[in-house]
Amino acid sequence: MEIGIIGLPRSGKTTIFNAITKGNVAVAGYSDKPNVGVAKVPDERLNTLAAMYRPKRVVPAIVTYTDIPPPPEGFGETRGISGEYLNAMQPLDALLIIIRAFDNSAVSHVDETVDPIRDIENMLMEITISDLEILGRRLTKIHGGFKGINTQERASLTREQDLLHRIKDQLNDGIALKDQQLSSDELKRISGFGFLSIKPLIVVINIGENQLDDHGDLKTQVQEALSGQHVRTAIICAQLEMELSQMDPEEEQEFRKDLGTTESSLHKMIRLSYAVVDQISFFTVGEDEVRAWEIPKETIAQHAAGKIHSDLERGFIRAEVISYANLVQCGGLVEARKQGLLRQEGKDHVLEDGEIMHVLFNV
Protein backbone atom coordinates (compact mmCIF):
# COMPACT_ATOMS: atom_id res chain seq x y z
CA MET A 1 0.00 0.00 0.00
CA GLU A 2 1.36 3.41 -1.00
CA ILE A 3 0.08 6.66 0.48
CA GLY A 4 1.07 10.08 -0.87
CA ILE A 5 1.39 13.03 1.51
CA ILE A 6 0.49 16.39 -0.04
CA GLY A 7 -0.29 19.86 1.25
CA LEU A 8 0.39 23.54 1.00
CA PRO A 9 3.93 24.78 1.69
CA ARG A 10 4.69 25.11 5.41
CA SER A 11 1.69 23.02 6.43
CA GLY A 12 3.87 20.52 8.33
CA LYS A 13 3.83 17.89 5.60
CA THR A 14 7.42 16.70 6.06
CA THR A 15 7.06 16.87 9.85
CA ILE A 16 4.13 14.46 9.62
CA PHE A 17 6.18 12.26 7.27
CA ASN A 18 8.99 12.09 9.86
CA ALA A 19 6.54 11.29 12.65
CA ILE A 20 4.93 8.42 10.73
CA THR A 21 8.11 6.87 9.33
CA LYS A 22 10.43 7.78 12.24
CA GLY A 23 12.52 9.67 9.72
CA ASN A 24 14.76 12.68 10.14
CA VAL A 25 14.27 14.55 6.86
CA ALA A 26 15.02 18.27 7.15
CA VAL A 27 11.75 20.19 7.54
CA ALA A 28 13.05 23.65 6.74
CA GLY A 29 13.44 24.94 3.20
CA TYR A 30 12.05 23.78 -0.13
CA SER A 31 12.95 20.51 -1.81
CA ASP A 32 11.79 19.38 -5.23
CA LYS A 33 12.52 15.71 -4.47
CA PRO A 34 9.97 13.37 -2.87
CA ASN A 35 10.83 11.69 0.42
CA VAL A 36 9.93 8.00 0.57
CA GLY A 37 9.66 6.10 3.83
CA VAL A 38 8.28 2.81 5.08
CA ALA A 39 6.18 2.35 8.19
CA LYS A 40 5.95 -1.07 9.80
CA VAL A 41 2.37 -1.99 10.65
CA PRO A 42 2.09 -2.60 14.41
CA ASP A 43 0.06 -5.78 15.01
CA GLU A 44 -0.08 -7.61 18.32
CA ARG A 45 -1.28 -10.74 16.49
CA LEU A 46 2.08 -10.93 14.71
CA ASN A 47 3.89 -10.72 18.06
CA THR A 48 1.76 -13.55 19.46
CA LEU A 49 2.42 -15.76 16.43
CA ALA A 50 6.13 -15.01 16.68
CA ALA A 51 6.13 -16.10 20.34
CA MET A 52 4.44 -19.36 19.31
CA TYR A 53 6.83 -20.26 16.47
CA ARG A 54 10.07 -18.50 17.49
CA PRO A 55 11.00 -18.06 13.82
CA LYS A 56 14.34 -16.93 12.41
CA ARG A 57 12.70 -13.71 11.34
CA VAL A 58 9.47 -11.79 11.85
CA VAL A 59 8.26 -9.58 9.00
CA PRO A 60 5.43 -7.09 9.60
CA ALA A 61 3.23 -5.69 6.86
CA ILE A 62 4.37 -2.29 5.63
CA VAL A 63 2.86 0.91 4.32
CA THR A 64 4.95 3.17 2.08
CA TYR A 65 4.50 6.91 2.56
CA THR A 66 5.74 9.40 -0.03
CA ASP A 67 6.14 13.04 0.95
CA ILE A 68 5.41 14.75 -2.36
CA PRO A 69 6.83 18.28 -2.67
CA PRO A 70 4.41 20.96 -3.85
CA PRO A 71 5.13 22.80 -7.11
CA PRO A 72 7.36 25.87 -6.61
CA GLU A 73 4.32 28.10 -7.03
CA GLY A 74 2.39 26.00 -4.53
CA PHE A 75 -0.95 24.26 -4.52
CA GLY A 76 -4.17 26.07 -3.78
CA GLU A 77 -3.99 28.50 -6.70
CA THR A 78 -6.65 26.70 -8.80
CA ARG A 79 -4.06 25.73 -11.41
CA GLY A 80 -4.68 22.03 -11.07
CA ILE A 81 -2.04 19.40 -10.47
CA SER A 82 -0.06 18.47 -13.54
CA GLY A 83 3.29 17.32 -14.88
CA GLU A 84 5.65 15.43 -12.60
CA TYR A 85 3.48 16.12 -9.54
CA LEU A 86 0.46 14.50 -11.15
CA ASN A 87 2.65 11.59 -12.34
CA ALA A 88 3.88 11.06 -8.77
CA MET A 89 0.33 10.92 -7.38
CA GLN A 90 -1.42 8.80 -9.99
CA PRO A 91 0.00 5.37 -8.92
CA LEU A 92 -0.79 5.92 -5.23
CA ASP A 93 -3.49 4.01 -3.34
CA ALA A 94 -4.62 7.04 -1.34
CA LEU A 95 -3.78 10.68 -0.64
CA LEU A 96 -3.01 12.10 2.79
CA ILE A 97 -3.65 15.85 2.80
CA ILE A 98 -1.99 17.94 5.52
CA ILE A 99 -3.92 21.05 6.54
CA ARG A 100 -2.36 23.67 8.76
CA ALA A 101 -4.23 24.84 11.85
CA PHE A 102 -1.30 25.95 14.03
CA ASP A 103 -0.49 29.66 14.29
CA ASN A 104 3.20 30.56 14.35
CA SER A 105 4.38 34.06 13.44
CA ALA A 106 7.80 32.64 12.53
CA VAL A 107 6.25 30.34 9.90
CA SER A 108 4.24 32.36 7.40
CA HIS A 109 1.21 30.92 5.64
CA VAL A 110 1.15 31.05 1.83
CA ASP A 111 -2.23 32.78 2.02
CA GLU A 112 -1.14 35.03 4.91
CA THR A 113 -3.83 33.79 7.31
CA VAL A 114 -4.47 30.38 8.89
CA ASP A 115 -7.83 29.02 7.77
CA PRO A 116 -8.08 25.19 7.73
CA ILE A 117 -11.50 25.03 6.05
CA ARG A 118 -10.39 27.33 3.23
CA ASP A 119 -7.25 25.25 2.71
CA ILE A 120 -9.25 22.00 2.60
CA GLU A 121 -11.54 23.48 -0.03
CA ASN A 122 -8.58 24.76 -2.07
CA MET A 123 -6.79 21.41 -2.04
CA LEU A 124 -9.93 19.54 -3.04
CA MET A 125 -10.46 22.07 -5.82
CA GLU A 126 -6.93 21.42 -7.12
CA ILE A 127 -7.70 17.71 -7.30
CA THR A 128 -10.98 18.35 -9.10
CA ILE A 129 -9.40 20.72 -11.62
CA SER A 130 -6.73 18.15 -12.47
CA ASP A 131 -9.41 15.55 -13.16
CA LEU A 132 -11.36 18.02 -15.29
CA GLU A 133 -8.23 18.74 -17.33
CA ILE A 134 -7.71 15.00 -17.92
CA LEU A 135 -11.35 14.69 -18.96
CA GLY A 136 -11.09 17.68 -21.29
CA ARG A 137 -8.09 16.23 -23.11
CA ARG A 138 -9.75 12.86 -23.54
CA LEU A 139 -13.06 14.34 -24.72
CA THR A 140 -11.24 16.45 -27.29
CA LYS A 141 -9.47 13.34 -28.57
CA ILE A 142 -12.75 11.42 -28.74
CA HIS A 143 -14.42 14.24 -30.65
CA GLY A 144 -11.70 14.05 -33.31
CA GLY A 145 -11.76 10.27 -33.39
CA PHE A 146 -15.18 9.74 -34.94
CA LYS A 147 -13.97 10.27 -38.47
CA GLY A 148 -13.42 7.14 -40.55
CA ILE A 149 -14.38 4.54 -37.94
CA ASN A 150 -16.85 1.67 -38.24
CA THR A 151 -20.22 1.39 -36.50
CA GLN A 152 -18.92 -0.77 -33.64
CA GLU A 153 -16.03 1.57 -32.89
CA ARG A 154 -18.39 4.57 -33.07
CA ALA A 155 -20.73 2.95 -30.57
CA SER A 156 -17.84 2.28 -28.16
CA LEU A 157 -16.55 5.86 -28.42
CA THR A 158 -20.06 7.22 -27.92
CA ARG A 159 -20.51 5.19 -24.73
CA GLU A 160 -17.18 6.48 -23.42
CA GLN A 161 -18.05 10.04 -24.37
CA ASP A 162 -21.40 9.82 -22.56
CA LEU A 163 -19.70 8.39 -19.46
CA LEU A 164 -17.04 11.10 -19.37
CA HIS A 165 -19.62 13.87 -19.82
CA ARG A 166 -21.62 12.44 -16.90
CA ILE A 167 -18.48 12.31 -14.76
CA LYS A 168 -17.56 15.85 -15.76
CA ASP A 169 -20.99 17.22 -14.87
CA GLN A 170 -20.83 15.67 -11.41
CA LEU A 171 -17.28 16.93 -10.84
CA ASN A 172 -18.49 20.42 -11.72
CA ASP A 173 -21.21 19.94 -9.09
CA GLY A 174 -18.54 19.15 -6.49
CA ILE A 175 -18.98 15.36 -6.43
CA ALA A 176 -15.64 13.55 -6.38
CA LEU A 177 -15.24 10.51 -8.59
CA LYS A 178 -15.06 8.19 -5.58
CA ASP A 179 -18.54 9.36 -4.59
CA GLN A 180 -20.14 9.04 -8.01
CA GLN A 181 -22.32 5.99 -8.48
CA LEU A 182 -20.20 4.22 -11.09
CA SER A 183 -20.66 0.58 -12.01
CA SER A 184 -17.76 -1.88 -11.90
CA ASP A 185 -17.65 -1.80 -15.69
CA GLU A 186 -17.51 2.00 -15.72
CA LEU A 187 -14.76 2.00 -13.10
CA LYS A 188 -12.81 -0.43 -15.25
CA ARG A 189 -13.22 1.82 -18.31
CA ILE A 190 -11.69 4.83 -16.52
CA SER A 191 -9.05 2.94 -14.49
CA GLY A 192 -6.20 4.00 -16.78
CA PHE A 193 -6.93 7.72 -16.75
CA GLY A 194 -5.09 8.49 -13.51
CA PHE A 195 -7.89 10.49 -11.89
CA LEU A 196 -7.07 11.84 -8.43
CA SER A 197 -10.54 12.42 -6.99
CA ILE A 198 -11.22 8.68 -7.20
CA LYS A 199 -8.55 8.03 -4.57
CA PRO A 200 -9.47 7.62 -0.89
CA LEU A 201 -8.49 10.59 1.28
CA ILE A 202 -7.06 11.05 4.74
CA VAL A 203 -7.21 14.68 5.87
CA VAL A 204 -4.89 15.50 8.76
CA ILE A 205 -5.29 18.78 10.61
CA ASN A 206 -1.93 19.88 12.00
CA ILE A 207 -2.45 21.77 15.27
CA GLY A 208 -0.07 23.45 17.71
CA GLU A 209 0.69 22.18 21.21
CA ASN A 210 -1.49 24.97 22.64
CA GLN A 211 -4.48 23.41 20.83
CA LEU A 212 -4.11 19.88 22.19
CA ASP A 213 -6.83 20.26 24.81
CA ASP A 214 -9.24 22.39 22.80
CA HIS A 215 -9.89 21.36 19.20
CA GLY A 216 -13.39 19.93 19.40
CA ASP A 217 -14.99 22.74 17.37
CA LEU A 218 -12.28 22.46 14.71
CA LYS A 219 -12.88 18.73 14.37
CA THR A 220 -16.61 19.31 13.88
CA GLN A 221 -15.99 22.01 11.25
CA VAL A 222 -13.60 19.77 9.33
CA GLN A 223 -16.01 16.84 9.31
CA GLU A 224 -18.79 19.13 8.06
CA ALA A 225 -16.53 20.44 5.28
CA LEU A 226 -15.78 16.90 4.08
CA SER A 227 -18.43 14.61 2.72
CA GLY A 228 -18.66 11.33 0.87
CA GLN A 229 -17.19 7.91 1.30
CA HIS A 230 -13.57 6.85 1.65
CA VAL A 231 -12.56 9.95 3.63
CA ARG A 232 -11.00 9.82 7.09
CA THR A 233 -9.89 12.70 9.30
CA ALA A 234 -7.41 13.12 12.13
CA ILE A 235 -6.11 15.96 14.26
CA ILE A 236 -2.41 15.75 15.09
CA CYS A 237 0.27 18.00 16.52
CA ALA A 238 2.95 17.12 13.99
CA GLN A 239 5.86 18.81 15.78
CA LEU A 240 5.14 17.03 19.05
CA GLU A 241 4.58 13.69 17.30
CA MET A 242 7.87 13.98 15.41
CA GLU A 243 9.75 14.69 18.62
CA LEU A 244 8.08 11.77 20.41
CA SER A 245 8.75 9.38 17.51
CA GLN A 246 12.48 10.01 17.82
CA MET A 247 12.62 9.11 21.51
CA ASP A 248 13.50 5.79 23.05
CA PRO A 249 10.24 3.72 23.08
CA GLU A 250 10.03 3.56 26.88
CA GLU A 251 10.70 7.29 27.20
CA GLU A 252 8.09 7.98 24.51
CA GLN A 253 5.54 5.90 26.39
CA GLU A 254 6.17 7.85 29.61
CA PHE A 255 5.79 11.17 27.83
CA ARG A 256 2.57 10.02 26.18
CA LYS A 257 1.22 8.94 29.53
CA ASP A 258 1.92 12.40 30.98
CA LEU A 259 0.40 14.13 27.94
CA GLY A 260 -2.62 11.85 27.75
CA THR A 261 -1.92 11.05 24.08
CA THR A 262 -2.15 7.28 24.07
CA GLU A 263 -2.07 6.61 20.32
CA SER A 264 0.99 7.60 18.32
CA SER A 265 0.71 9.24 14.91
CA LEU A 266 2.24 6.07 13.43
CA HIS A 267 -0.52 3.88 14.86
CA LYS A 268 -3.21 6.39 13.96
CA MET A 269 -2.06 6.83 10.35
CA ILE A 270 -1.64 3.08 9.83
CA ARG A 271 -5.14 2.48 11.20
CA LEU A 272 -6.64 5.20 9.01
CA SER A 273 -4.64 4.06 5.95
CA TYR A 274 -5.93 0.49 6.30
CA ALA A 275 -9.50 1.70 6.84
CA VAL A 276 -9.65 4.19 3.99
CA VAL A 277 -8.11 1.81 1.44
CA ASP A 278 -10.12 -1.21 2.72
CA GLN A 279 -7.05 -3.30 3.50
CA ILE A 280 -6.72 -6.33 5.75
CA SER A 281 -3.81 -8.52 6.85
CA PHE A 282 -3.29 -12.26 6.61
CA PHE A 283 -0.38 -14.28 8.00
CA THR A 284 2.00 -17.03 7.03
CA VAL A 285 3.74 -18.94 9.82
CA GLY A 286 6.64 -21.35 10.20
CA GLU A 287 9.97 -21.92 11.90
CA ASP A 288 11.81 -19.86 9.27
CA GLU A 289 9.45 -16.91 9.12
CA VAL A 290 6.28 -15.45 10.58
CA ARG A 291 4.97 -12.75 8.30
CA ALA A 292 2.02 -10.38 7.84
CA TRP A 293 0.78 -9.53 4.35
CA GLU A 294 -1.53 -6.66 3.48
CA ILE A 295 -4.22 -7.24 0.85
CA PRO A 296 -7.50 -5.54 -0.18
CA LYS A 297 -10.70 -6.80 1.39
CA GLU A 298 -12.52 -9.44 -0.66
CA THR A 299 -9.24 -10.84 -2.04
CA ILE A 300 -9.55 -14.51 -3.01
CA ALA A 301 -7.01 -17.07 -1.85
CA GLN A 302 -5.34 -17.52 -5.24
CA HIS A 303 -4.68 -13.79 -5.62
CA ALA A 304 -3.51 -13.53 -2.00
CA ALA A 305 -1.06 -16.35 -2.75
CA GLY A 306 0.36 -14.16 -5.52
CA LYS A 307 1.19 -11.56 -2.89
CA ILE A 308 3.61 -14.11 -1.41
CA HIS A 309 5.06 -15.23 -4.76
CA SER A 310 3.81 -15.27 -8.35
CA ASP A 311 4.52 -19.04 -8.60
CA LEU A 312 2.04 -19.70 -5.78
CA GLU A 313 -0.71 -17.90 -7.66
CA ARG A 314 0.16 -19.50 -11.00
CA GLY A 315 0.34 -23.06 -9.65
CA PHE A 316 -2.31 -22.71 -6.92
CA ILE A 317 -3.95 -26.03 -5.99
CA ARG A 318 -5.58 -25.28 -2.64
CA ALA A 319 -4.94 -23.50 0.64
CA GLU A 320 -4.96 -24.59 4.26
CA VAL A 321 -6.63 -21.80 6.21
CA ILE A 322 -7.33 -21.16 9.88
CA SER A 323 -8.48 -18.13 11.83
CA TYR A 324 -6.02 -16.39 14.13
CA ALA A 325 -8.20 -17.08 17.19
CA ASN A 326 -8.45 -20.80 16.43
CA LEU A 327 -4.70 -21.15 15.84
CA VAL A 328 -3.85 -19.42 19.11
CA GLN A 329 -6.41 -21.56 20.93
CA CYS A 330 -4.88 -24.76 19.51
CA GLY A 331 -1.30 -23.65 20.03
CA GLY A 332 -0.19 -24.74 16.56
CA LEU A 333 -1.22 -26.21 13.22
CA VAL A 334 -0.74 -29.83 14.28
CA GLU A 335 -3.34 -29.61 17.02
CA ALA A 336 -5.58 -27.45 14.79
CA ARG A 337 -5.54 -30.19 12.15
CA LYS A 338 -6.47 -32.82 14.79
CA GLN A 339 -9.42 -30.71 15.88
CA GLY A 340 -10.58 -30.16 12.31
CA LEU A 341 -10.08 -26.39 12.51
CA LEU A 342 -7.53 -26.23 9.67
CA ARG A 343 -9.77 -25.90 6.62
CA GLN A 344 -9.06 -26.87 3.02
CA GLU A 345 -10.08 -23.98 0.78
CA GLY A 346 -10.13 -23.52 -2.98
CA LYS A 347 -8.88 -20.64 -5.08
CA ASP A 348 -12.11 -18.61 -4.69
CA HIS A 349 -12.07 -18.54 -0.89
CA VAL A 350 -12.24 -14.91 0.27
CA LEU A 351 -9.65 -14.33 2.98
CA GLU A 352 -10.77 -12.74 6.23
CA ASP A 353 -8.66 -10.37 8.30
CA GLY A 354 -6.20 -12.28 10.47
CA GLU A 355 -6.48 -15.67 8.77
CA ILE A 356 -3.36 -17.81 8.51
CA MET A 357 -2.83 -19.43 5.11
CA HIS A 358 -0.54 -22.18 3.84
CA VAL A 359 -0.58 -22.61 0.04
CA LEU A 360 -0.23 -25.91 -1.79
CA PHE A 361 0.87 -25.38 -5.38
CA ASN A 362 2.53 -27.02 -8.36
CA VAL A 363 4.41 -25.32 -11.22
Same domain, 105 and 135: no
Query: Tens digit of pLDDT for each residue in 320-347?
Result: 999 999 999 999 999 999 999 999 999 9
Same domain, 220 and 350: no
Percent above pLDDT 70 for the chain: 94
| Distance, C-alpha 92 to centroid of its chain | 8
Q: Is residue 286 part of a domain?
A: no
Confidence of residue 264 (pLDDT cuts 50, 70, 90): confident
Rounded to two decimals, the pTM is 0.85
Same domain, 329 and 355: yes
Strands 57-59 and 356-361: unpaired
Q: Is 83 in contact with 73 (CB distance < 8 Å)?
A: no
Query: Tens digit of pLDDT for each residue in 117-166?
Result: 999 988 888 899 999 999 999 999 988 888 878 888 889 889 999 999 99
- Domain enclosing residue 340, as ranges: 298-361
Same domain, 13 and 62: yes
In the chain, how many domains are there? Answer: 3
Query: Which are the contacts of 88, defined by CB distance < 8 A and separation ≥ 6?
Result: 4, 34, 66, 68
Q: Is residue 210 part of a domain?
A: yes
268 pLDDT exceeds 80? yes
Query: Tens digit of pLDDT for each residue in 163-208?
Result: 999 999 999 998 999 999 899 999 999 988 999 999 999 999 999 8
CATH label of the domain that carries residue 204? 3.40.50.300
Q: Is 92 in contact with 195 (CB distance < 8 Å)?
A: no
Over residues 287-309, mean pLDDT = 96
Indicate the DSSP class of residue 315: T
pLDDT value at residue 82? 67
pLDDT value at residue 135? 94
Percent above pLDDT 90 for the chain: 51
pLDDT value at residue 247? 87
Query: Tens digit of pLDDT for each residue in 66-116?
Result: 998 876 655 555 555 767 778 888 899 999 999 999 988 888 787 888 899
Give dist(CA 252, CA 245) in Å, integer. Answer: 7
Over residues 256-262, mean pLDDT = 76
Mean pLDDT of the chain: 88
pLDDT value at residue 303? 97
Of 229, 248, 277, the last residue of a domain is 277
Q: Is residue 284 part of a domain?
A: no
Strands 231-236 and 201-206: parallel
Same domain, 8 and 151: no
Q: Which of 160, 128, 166, 168 is nearest to 143 (CA)?
A: 160
Confidence of residue 224 (pLDDT cuts 50, 70, 90): confident
Same domain, 260 and 227: yes
Q: Which of 183, 179, 280 is nearest to 231 (CA)?
A: 179
Same domain, 107 and 251: yes
